[in-house]
Amino acid sequence: MQNSQIRDFTQGNISRQLIKLALPLMATSFIQMTYNLVNILWIGQLGSRSVAAVGSVGMLIWMMNAFALTSKISAEVAVGQSIGAKRTDQAVRYASHTTTIAVILGLSFGILFFSSPATFISFFKLESDIAQEAADYLKIISVGIPLIFLILNFSGIYVGSGRSDIPFYFNASGLILNAVLDPLFIFGPGFFPQMGVKGAALATVISHFIVVILFVRHLRSKKGALGGFPLLTKLRKTQTLNILRLGVPAAMMNVYFSFINMNLARIASIYGGYIGVTTQTTGGQIEGITWNTSQGFATALSSFVAQNYTAGKIIRAQRAYRSTLKWMTVFGIFVSLAFIFTGESIFSLFIPEKLAYQAGGEYLLIMGFSQVFMMIEITTQGMFNGLGRTAPPAIVSMTFNTLRIPLSVFLASQIGITGVWWAITITSIIKGCTSVLWFHFTRKKHFNQYDEIT
C-alpha cells in the first residue's frame, strides 16, 4: 500500500507537480538566506567592520554546508529513486544511513572549528580587531554545526519523499525565532546582556536547535517521512558506497566552489580592504535571490526526475527540465534588470554606510549580467542529479571556478577590485552555456533508447 507521506511524481500534470514541490523548497532556501540577511541587517547597525567579520565566517560555514550535501543530495536521490522503484524498505535504509553520516560529519566539523577558530579566520588576512570578532563569532556558531548537518539531511529525506512542505514549515519557525532573538542578544535591551556579534551567533544556534527538535518529533510520529525510520544505524557497505557515489561529487563541487570564493574574498581584501570583503559577502547574500530560487526548483527537478527516470519515464523527465529552464530564464532576466539599474539602492537597505553601498552597487551591477546563466547552470545540475549523474555538473563547476582565481588576479591588477567581480560574472556565463551543451550531448547519446511509459 502506498505510504500517505510519499508523493508519486510518475503521473499527473508535470508543471503543477513541479511547482507544488518547488515552492516550499524555494521558500526554504530563502529562509536559509534570510537567516544570514537578518544577521547582516542587525549587525550592519554595528558597522561595516562587524559585517566583514561575520561575512568571513559565512564563507567558512558555506564550505561546511557544502560537505553536508554528501548526505542531503544522497537522501534526495536515493530515497526518490527507491520510491520510484516502489522500494519503500530500501528508502528507509538509505534514510537511516544518511542521517548517521550527517551526525558523524557534523560532529567532526563542529569540533574542528570550535578548537581553533582563529586559525581558520587568519586565512582572510583581516585587521586584528576584525579577525578577533570573527573568531569569537565562529566559536559559538561551531556548536550548532551538527544541527545544520541534521537539518539539511532531514530536508533531503522529506524532499526525496515528495514532502518539501515539511522542511519549509520547520525552517520558517526557526527563522522567526532567529529574527526575534537577534536584536535581543546583539543589543541587549532590558535584562538581556549586550553581546554584539556573539549574540547573533547564539541566536542562530538556538534557532537551529529548535528546528532539529521539530524535525525529530515529526519523524518519530506516525506522519513522519517514510512512516518513521531509525535515525541511527550501523553503516553497511552497499548503502554507504552508494551514498558516497551520489553525494560526494555534488559535495566536492560545492566545497571547491566555497574554497574558490574564500580565495576571492582574500583577493578582495587585498585590493579593497574590509570594504572588499563586506561587498563580496553581503552582495553574495543578496545575490541569493536568484541562487536560492534556482536551487529550490533544481532540487524539485532532481526529486521529480529521480522518480520518473527509475520508472523509465525519461521523456516526462525531459519535459520537466525544459519547463524549469523557461521559468528560471524569465525570473533571471527580471533580477538582472533589478541588479543593473537599482543595485546601489538594494545594497543600502542592509548597510547604510555610503562607501559600502556604493561599492555594493558596483558589485550587483556586474553580477546582473550573469544571473540568467547561473540559474541555467543550477537547473541543469538538478537534472543531472536526478539521473544519478552527479559528476558532469561537478566537473563543469570545478573547472571554471578554478579559472576565477587567475582571472580575478589579472583583472584586479588592471582595473582594481571590480576585476574580481568581472571574473565571477564571465565564468558564470561560461558555466551556464557549458552545462546545457553537456546535457544536450548526454541526452542524445544515452536517452534515445527510452520510450515513454504511461
- Give residue limits of the domains in the chain: 14-441
Query: Nearest 5 degrees, angle CA 357-CA 361-CA 366?
Result: 150
Helix axes 237-310, 145-160, angle to 10 degrees: 40
Which of 273, 210, 252, 245 lies closest to 49 in space, CA to CA?
273
Which of 23, 24, 61 lies closest to 39 in space, CA to CA?
61
Residue ranges of the chain with pLDDT lower than 50? 1-4, 449-454
d(CA 28, CA 171): 6
- What pLDDT is recorded for position 369? 95
- The set of residues, in sequence order, having a beta carbon less than 8 Å from that of 399 and lying 6+ positions away, is none
- What pLDDT is recorded for position 446? 56
Cell numbers that stand for 398 in this block: 570545478
- What pLDDT is recorded for position 448? 54
- What pLDDT is recorded for position 6? 58
Which of 244, 299, 298, 302 lies closest to 71 in space, CA to CA?
244
d(CA 187, CA 184): 6
Identify the burial level of 360 via C-beta atoms within 10 angstroms of its C-beta, where 0-12 means exposed, 13-18 middle and 19 or more buried.
buried
- What pLDDT is recorded for position 60? 85
Place of cell 525510520: 229
- The set of residues, in sequence order, having a beta carbon less than 8 Å from that of 198 and lying 6+ positions away, is 136, 137, 140, 185
- What pLDDT is recorded for position 425? 95
For the whole model, what pTM was predicted?
0.69
- The set of residues, in sequence order, having a beta carbon less than 8 Å from that of 407 and lying 6+ positions away, is 423, 426, 427
Residue 232: phi, psi to the nearest 5? -120, 150
* Other Cβ atoms within 10 Å of 206 Cβ, number: 17
- What pLDDT is recorded for position 427? 96
d(CA 226, CA 93): 10
DSSP structure class, residue 351: -
Which of 259, 274, 295 lies closest to 381 in space, CA to CA?
295
